Structure formats: C-alpha cells, structure tokens
A = this chain, B = another copy of it.
C-alpha cells in the first residue's frame, strides 16, 4: 500500500529528530493525516501495537480488581463548568455540539476531554453506603482536546485512551489506589514497552485540573526531551462535592467519597517510537509487536517459489503453535530487498529468510532488527535450532531494548547542584535530558524556567532521588526538595 514512500529515505535522527519522527510514523504506516484538522488515522500496524498495549494493561487492571464500563461521549456544558479548576484547565480545548437532529440544542454538549464529571455524576446515583465502595472502573474511549499544534500520536485533537475512575471511602484508600496505578503504569512501560520511566509527583503548577495530587511517569526520549507517559490523580473530594457523591459511613455519617482518575493514551505509541526507533525505522519491542517474526521466502523461478513458500508456511505454523506471532510475506511483485526494507522500517524484531539453498541445507537465515554488542546481525542457522530458539531470541531482544533505554536515560541525566535558571538552561542546551536539582517549592521558579523552556517534570519518588540531596534551589536560594527538570513534549 505504500509504494510511493517505499523508496524514500529517512532524515537521520541527529539531523532533525522531529522530521525523522514524522517520516517514520508515515513510512512505517503507523498513522496518517486525515482531512480533519488535528486528528489522526491509526493504520493497522500502529493500531496493532496499541491493541497489544491495551491487552496488557487491561489484564493488569483486571488482575487488580478493576472492571470496564462505558460512559457517554457527550457531556452537558454545565457539568464541565461545575468544578472550577477543571473547567479552567479544559474549557479552551473543548469541541462543542450545538446542533443535533436538525435542531439547535437547548444546552450545548461538549465532546468529552476527560470524563470525571459525567462519571462521578453516575457514581452519585449508584452509591449510598460504604458497602457500595470502592468503585473501581475503567473505560477505553476516545477523547477530544482541541489542540493548535498537533503531532501524530503525541498530541492530536482526538486520541484514544483508557481512563480509570475510582471512588473510595477514605483518603488513604484513594491515595493507595493512585499509587498502585502509577506502579502498574511503570511496570507496563518497563516490561512491555522497554521504556523505563521516572515516577513521582507533579508540582501544583503542573498537576491535573481538579486534582489534589497528580503522579506521573516521565520517560526520556532519544532527543533528550521528556514525555509524560501516564498520570494518576488523587482527586480528593473535589468532584464528589460538585456531584453529590456521598455515602453513609460505617458510623452512619454522610460523607463525600474520595476519587482517583488515571490514564494512558495512544501517545504511548509515540513514546515507543522515540525510545527505540533508529535511522532505519521503528523498532517494536517483541512483547508489543503485532508481528514478531516475519518470514521472507526468496526465489528466482516459479519452481523455487513453490519450495520456499511452502517452507515459509511450515515455519509460520510451527512458530504460531509455539505462541509466536509470526507471518510470511508471500507477495510476488516485491523483491526480497524491498520486503526487508519494509519490515525493518516497521520494526519487526526478527526476520527469517528462506532461499532454495537454505531449504536444501536445512537452514534459515536469521536477521535481528537490533543486535547486542558483538552479536551477529545476520546468520545462517539450522532450521530446527532457529525454531527452537526464536522465543528465547525475542526475550533477549526485549531485555536488550530495556537495557539500552535505561542506559540512555542514565547517560541523559544530570545530577548535582544547579544554582540558577540560566545554568539549568545551559545544561539542557548542552544535551542533558533530565536535570535533577533542588527546588525551594516556589512556583515563581517554575515560571522563570519557562524562559529556558524547562518545566519541573516530577518531584521524584524515593528510588529515583539522588544519593546526596541537592541543597540549592535551581531558582536561587535554599532547596526544600529535589526535582527533575526537562524540556518536554
């Protein structure tokens, strides 16, 4: 389907990371631009990755006691306006339905930018007593936030996500839920995406509109910019108060429930691309790859084709029986070279080439999309061994990608004292990604840091903090806490 683009090269990452990103998304057929401003079409290869992400996360949510449900796309304007901070954060980005069924509506609806308001209004109907709590629901849905500057996957007006919304009888329980989910997100990003994030707390200036506390996973991309990859919010009783979400406590008192909300989105696909991609294309971690092994039969004559195509089919069947997502590329009109090019661009972890001589020798040629130091990219291997070791190779590749990403994160992290916003800017200009520093807690420092395009990504969780806590604030003066600065997507 992409003949027009197949021969195109990619701008190298070092030359223009942003151009590389756009090209790779289009050429790997992950997504495309529709004739709808700021939106995206997610093509099968991109959607296949998202489906695997969904499956993994959904299993984790369910294993921790959550269930899925579905709430309406349209929210009455008056609902969005009820929680003051919430509406301040979202109003500028709303898409508004004013007409429907051929008539002007009495009250306009907004397309959900997030669903706290509609969901907690339902919870208030369902909850009477502490026995009805907790409610632990999640929904997989599309949301809309009208954005001026969009990038495929990273920032689009419409995107797909999951949003969890829970209600609890106590603050402690809500706080624990918010932290549990943060842990699930981190595990998912490390174990499935091979994208190790730093976790921690958002500052007041950066937290979710309507939350008491926002936790987040921040991952470092190859260009040194941070990507907010998942957030988990302790909402306190802010929404419960506005929507009358009360319950009768064990002691018989009427109390407001405590809420959390949390989400990850198709933005994760963008994070995956910017974490692992190289100048040949995308690299998809095996656990998320829609196709983990592509088998390419190679032949000159029709006779040869019959042999190698049959062998390719056998190999695919054997691998599938072993639980490997394998496929064969049986297209006759494309040269082997064109196929190699396409599957490398799409980031399939392993390729098995099967030519007539390989079949005669009982061998296949194994080609790794990414190699460890000293590892051969391409080698001829006895077929039986290749079939037996494929699962192991995929596992090793998954680990290799995580190690690589972790090493890049560490190499891109600067720790130590930073005593001015200018110094912070200089460090980022020189290529630092995450800059750890002390912070006084004064939001004015965050305001001034905008001049060097830096934001506090997190007050990091304990395990990410520096061994020696910094004593000086990056805005000058004394530090009260350690923070992580970065330029962010």
Contact = CB atoms under 8 A, between A and B. Distances in A.
Interface stretch (A142-150, A170-178, A202-210): A142-150
A87 interface: no
Contact of A1 (B97, B121, B126, B141): B126
Interface string A26-65: 0000001011100111111001101100000000000000
A91 B101 CA distance: 8
B3 A129 contact: yes
A35 B121 contact: yes
Nearest to A132: B1
Interface string A430-464: 00000000000000000000000000000000000
A40 to B, nearest CB: 7
Contacts of A79: 35
A380 B32 CA distance: 60
Contact of A118 (B36, B99, B118, B331): B36
Given A34-B118, A36-B118, A158-B72, A101 B97 contact: no
B158 A128 contact: no
A157 B98 CA distance: 15
B95 A36 contact: no
Contacts of A1: 126-127, 132, 135
A337 interface: no
Nearest to A31: B70
Interface string A147-189: 1100000000110100000000000000000000000000000
A79 B111 CA distance: 20
B92 A70 contact: no
A333 interface: yes
> What is the interface of chain A mostly: helix, strand, loop, or mixed?
mixed
Contacts of A100: 94-96, 146, 157
Contacts of A72: 34, 36, 39-41, 158
A335 interface: no
A67 B47 CA distance: 9
Nearest to A290: B67
Contacts of A97: 95-98, 111
A128 B4 contact: yes
Given A68-B48, A101-B148, A73 B32 contact: no
A395 to B, nearest CB: 25
A76 interface: yes
Given A4-B128, A34-B118, A95-B97, A68 B51 contact: yes
Interface string A113-133: 000001001100111110110
Contacts of A128: 3-4
A98 B101 CA distance: 14
Nearest to A40: B72
Contact of A67 (B48, B158, B331, B333): B48
A216 interface: no
Contact of A111 (B2, B41, B73): B73
